[in-house]
Amino acid sequence: MLPERLNKVIHLLARLPGVGEKTAQRFALFLATEAGDVANHLGAELTTLLDHIRPCDRCGNLADYDGTAAICDVCRDTRRDSNLLCIVARVQDLLAVERSGAMRGRYFVLGKLLSPLDGIGPEELPLERMINRIREDKVTEVIVATPPSVDGEATALLVARELEPTGIAISRIASGVPHGGDLEFADQITLGRAIDGRKAIDG
Amino acid sequence: MLPERLNKVIHLLARLPGVGEKTAQRFALFLATEAGDVANHLGAELTTLLDHIRPCDRCGNLADYDGTAAICDVCRDTRRDSNLLCIVARVQDLLAVERSGAMRGRYFVLGKLLSPLDGIGPEELPLERMINRIREDKVTEVIVATPPSVDGEATALLVARELEPTGIAISRIASGVPHGGDLEFADQITLGRAIDGRKAIDG
């Protein structure tokens, strides 16, 4: 029913996360009938995107690539505490931690989580690069901010074990009932962790 | 926090219908970190998309453009009843009617609806092209399938008035409680229309 070229675009858009064929068709028809300027600009930007951005050479965050090196904004920022390192799974998680405003150090992006079921073992994680980074920056404290899932916990344990010989202080972000959340609707694992992770109330 | 080039892509993706900044960022990070092939292919396709598709010269549906003419699949299909014409507002609506399998004729896409509040008057609708099409194809029956909204009804009335002198049979798609819908949850206008549009039961 639709031109072949448009079907190709629909097929590609349907690969975006959370986008099905129907939404992809809606996007494609919008680009083709209402927003030709967006189609043209997006086309031009996407065509050259991967030539101009790279994972940061130091931390794995996304960075502008100038042809020789890619250093991200966080690694360039000299006001940050380089002795404090937060380890995350993905760039998205780095952005989420940044939004919280609670992290004044730098980051290291693992890129993936340990996942025996998907065949991702320790050798697939950039542990050597992580340790080099920690040595170079004379990091004294590491916060592991992998997600509180089975894979995230396994990865956190692996990171902690790798860093044990260095004697660096290692912590894991707290898991519990979210701020504003209702105990009634919290699942039992979350509530169990909230109780396990309880803190003394300073009177 | 993110490279300037990626922010541009996020900004453009956020113009897609129903996509906010957060979803656009999710799409962009997916393209930049996980699916470089999709980014490259989509970039190439979008860059040349508008050079290769056009509204069909005859009906306004999207069609492959070969450099001189654009005739869509529906208009090319000789098995269709060219005396029956379905008038729709958008290409999306044409596709929806096609999916129903209930239309064996051809289509005419208005491109927009009459909307006094948005300053869209009768002169903005392709009424002359519509009438020419009806004359050329010797159309004997017109089904107006604009949506059952205020603008859709106003447009249907306008189309009917324009076609009155031709003496062609003109009908409007039925409005009522959707198939599988619950009367309890139908709004009062829908239920009112369902009653107004009641049909005799053949015993």
What chain A holds in terms of domains, given with CATH numbers, is 4-51 (1.10.8), 78-200 (3.40.1360.10)
Asked if B95 and A1 touch (Cβ cutoff 8 Å), the reply is: yes
pLDDT of B36 reads 87
Residues of chain B with pLDDT under 70: 203
Report how far apart, in Å, the C-alpha atoms of B118 and of each of B88, B113, B150 are: 19, 10, 13
* DSSP 8-state secondary structure symbol assigned to residue B84: E
Q: Letter for the amino acid at B148?
A: P
**Size (chain B), residues:** 203
pLDDT of B184 reads 81
pLDDT of B200 reads 75
pLDDT of B195 reads 84
- DSSP E strands in B6-83: the ranges are 53-55, 62-64
pLDDT for A108-148, tens place per residue? 999 999 998 889 999 999 999 999 999 998 999 999 999 98
Q: What is the C-alpha separation between B3 and A72, in angstroms, rounded? A: 8
pLDDT for B99-128, tens place per residue? 888 889 999 999 999 998 889 999 999 999
pLDDT of B203 reads 65
Contact residues, chain A, for B46 at CB < 8 Å = 9, 31, 39-40, 42-43, 46
pLDDT of A203 reads 65
Q: What is the C-alpha separation between A114 and B79, in angstroms, rounded? A: 58
Report the share of chain A in percent with pLDDT over 90. 54
- Model confidence at A59, pLDDT cuts 50, 70, 90, reads very high
What does the pLDDT average to over A187-196?
83
pLDDT of A107 reads 94
**Beta pairing class for A106-109 and A141-144:** unpaired
Q: What is the pTM of this model?
A: 0.78
Contact residues, chain A, for B41 at CB < 8 Å = 12
pLDDT of A178 reads 84
Q: Letter for the amino acid at A42?
A: L
Q: How far is CA A3 from the centre of its chain?
A: 38
Q: What are the φ/ψ torsions at residue B53 (nearest 5 degrees)?
A: -125, 150
pLDDT at A195 over 90: no
How much is the mean pLDDT over chain A? 89
Report the share of chain A in percent with pLDDT over 70. 100
Q: In this complex, which of A4, A36, A45 lies closest to B64 when CB atoms are compared?
A: A4
The answer to whether A31 contacts B46, with C-beta atoms less than 8 Å apart, is yes
pLDDT of B143 reads 92
Q: Letter for the amino acid at B9?
A: V
Contact residues, chain A, for B5 at CB < 8 Å = 45, 48-49, 52-53, 64
- Model confidence at A84, pLDDT cuts 50, 70, 90, reads very high
DSSP assignments along A143-156, one per residue? EE---SSHHHHHHH
Give the tokens for residue A39.
Answer: 């189609």
ipTM for this model: 0.79
Contact residues, chain B, for A25 at CB < 8 Å = 92, 95
B36 touches chain A (CB under 8 A): yes
What does the pLDDT average to over A83-112?
91
Q: How far is CA A101 from the centre of its chain?
A: 16
The answer to whether A16 contacts B33, with C-beta atoms less than 8 Å apart, is no
